[in-house]
């Protein structure tokens, strides 16, 4: 079995798409600092980036997969509303306070 040029092209696109959540996950890897405040901005950033990719013509071969991923992100984003912890942590962060909320919502 051998992969053709279009197969390799699709794999490169998939790799680029999957690098985004891998990078996002790294923001939660700290053992020395609290990271709960990063949940909402990270999910929003990931959703924005994947939406850009879904709208980019070069990603047409995998746009359906990206859109499914966006549905999953939205599912988890909605779950942040189930607990006030994420919002409170974001607002209590001295770097953000209400600025992030006012700019994004």
pLDDT at 100 over 80: no
Distance CA 69, CA 75 (A): 10
Q: What are phi and psi of 32, to 5 degrees?
A: -105, -15
Alpha helices in 1-105 (DSSP H): 5-26, 39-55, 63-79, 85-92, 99-104
Distance CA 91, CA 75 (A): 22
pLDDT at 66 over 80: yes
Per-residue pLDDT of 8-62, as tens digits, reads 999 999 999 999 999 998 887 777 777 787 888 899 999 999 999 999 999 999 9
**Residue bearing the bigger pLDDT, 84 or 8:** 8
* Residue 86 token pair: 């994420």
Distance CA 33, CA 61 (A): 39
Q: pTM to 2 decimals? A: 0.80
Are the beta carbons of 16 and 61 closer than 8 angstroms?
no
Q: What is the pLDDT of residue 15?
A: 98
């Amino acid at each position: 079995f051998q992969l053709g040029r279009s197969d390799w092209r699709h794999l490169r696109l998939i790799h680029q798409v999957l690098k985004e959540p891998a990078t996002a996950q790294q923001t939660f890897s700290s053992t020395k600092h609290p990271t709960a405040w990063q949940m909402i901005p990270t999910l929003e950033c990931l959703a924005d980036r994947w939406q850009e990719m879904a709208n980019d013509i070069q990603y047409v071969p995998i746009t359906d997969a990206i859109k499914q991923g966006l549905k999953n992100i939205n599912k988890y984003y909605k779950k942040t509303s189930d607990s006030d912890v994420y919002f409170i942590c974001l607002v209590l962060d001295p770097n953000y306070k209400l600025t992030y909320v006012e700019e994004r919502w």
